[in-house]
Structure 1
């Protein structure tokens, strides 16, 4: 996949936008610079938002190995349905795709990834899910987007072994997914919300196997990253999860502080369901809703 960075720069200048103006609420100015100067590929979401601001089509500045991105819309539709837990609709869209229709190696990798995803979360067929996820891992290329997708696959494989009660194998995959994500360069080019999901899913796993300290460490990483991009929905989840794990190790003072912050965030977001869950947690652990200076 190749971005025509020079062309994007020309269009930006025609629109009389600075790099800072183009990047606002989408990514960093550094990301725009890397795209224009080095043809570095960000996530499709970031690039799509940039193209929308420039009032151009994605294919005006993006090439997949010299061919047109014919399956882009279908993959975007599948992603949208998966993100909203509309798995049956995603499965229906998948029926329009086949390996023969894939125009490049990344599309083949993505196809196997989504097949694995849907077999795991929709069909609840762990064995079939693992087959497709491992198949996706075998499709390699020295590229940031390939490496980034591999991190997501490893995290998902971790979950597949967790639900199969193979905790040692699950631990290996969760560890590897987190380690690999932190070794990637140019994180600003990636979808930060996906990184947050990897941290959160991993924290939940470690909490479930009672490795509370590791869960807290991952929550801290998630809190820091959520603050960077002002992602409140992720932020309250990490504060809540950290509070729960702090309570489990009897660090009541810090647990109360984190429950207090989590409650403030969910009230701000109008999430009464989580608000009630926090109240139940406080009662269970015999804690108060307060912030201790």
Structure 2
């Protein structure tokens, strides 16, 4: 699945008439771009964000490729993301709870994504703040490796949103700051 991201990045780069070196300038090395496009090696999340920004891409165009090789639920997660984009969080929550069973998820990435989407749709779709906080913390507890990924940052932002909605400004600010620190 990661091969698709390399092809997508390359296609966007060529459409903008950029060389690999021009795309990499002040972001990473040309070799990083080459490895991404040709060897399916993903850079860190911060580098990938800068690359997608330079190519005028929405990160959502590539983020589904960053979570590993679990294809079983990819289409469902994409549908959930699409529903969230059009503010149908209740429908997204219902889709998660009726189509995905936690005990069938094989990778930590899938489990993190499951909990993140449960959290954001519970908070925004149904106003279930305490449920959302629980789900976001569950997502954060699943570590793939020592590197931070977009789901960790999303879960931190989800916690900030939940606390913000609950008028707990100090906690909200703390989680927003944590997510910014992780991005740096």
Preserved CA contact (<8 Å) 1:23 1:32? no
Query: Aligned equivalents of 2:146 and 2:15: distance in 1?
Result: 26
Q: Alpha-carbon deviation of 1:164?
A: 1.6
Match of 2:117 in 1: 114
Following TM superposition, the consecutive aligned residue runs of length 4 or more in structure 1 with deviations greater than 4 angstroms are 19-22, 41-44
Q: Which of 136, 140, 147 does residue 137 from structure 1 map onto? A: 140
Question: What is the distance in 2 between the residues matched to 1:159 and 1:44?
Answer: 19
Distance 1:177 1:165, change over 3 A: same
Q: 1:107 to 1:44 in 2, by over 3 A?
A: farther
Q: 1:79 aligns with which of 76, 81, 85?
A: 81
- Could you tell me the TM-score, scaled by structure 1's length? 0.45
Quick one: distance in 2 between partners of 1:63 and 1:171?
A: 31
The higher relative CO (CA closer than 8 Å, separation ≥ 6) is in: 2
- Bigger CA radius of gyration: 1
Q: Are 1:119 and 1:128, in contact at CA under 8 Å, matched by a contact in 2? A: yes
Provide the rounded CA distance (Å) in 2 between the counterparts of 1:126 and 1:47: 26
User: CA shift at 1:34, angstroms?
Assistant: 3.2
CA drift of 1:80 comes to: 0.4
RMSD: 3.2
Secondary structure (helix, strand or coil) at the match of 1:70 reads coil
User: How many residue pairs get matched?
Assistant: 154
Which runs of no fewer than 5 residues in structure 2 stay unpaired?
25-31, 49-58
TM-score after normalising by structure 2: 0.69
> Residue 89 of structure 2 contacts residue 121 of structure 2 at CA under 8 Å; is this kept in 1?
yes
Unaligned runs of 5+ in 1: 13-18, 49-57, 183-293
C-alpha separation in 2, matches of 1:21 and 1:91? 34
Give per-residue Cα distances to partners, 1:59-91, cap 9 Å, x unaligned: xxx962xxx511100000000000110123212
Per-residue displacement from partner, 1:180-228 (whole Å, max 9, x unpaired)? Answer: 112xxxxxxxxxxxxxxxxxxxxxxxxxxxxxxxxxxxxxxxxxxxxxx
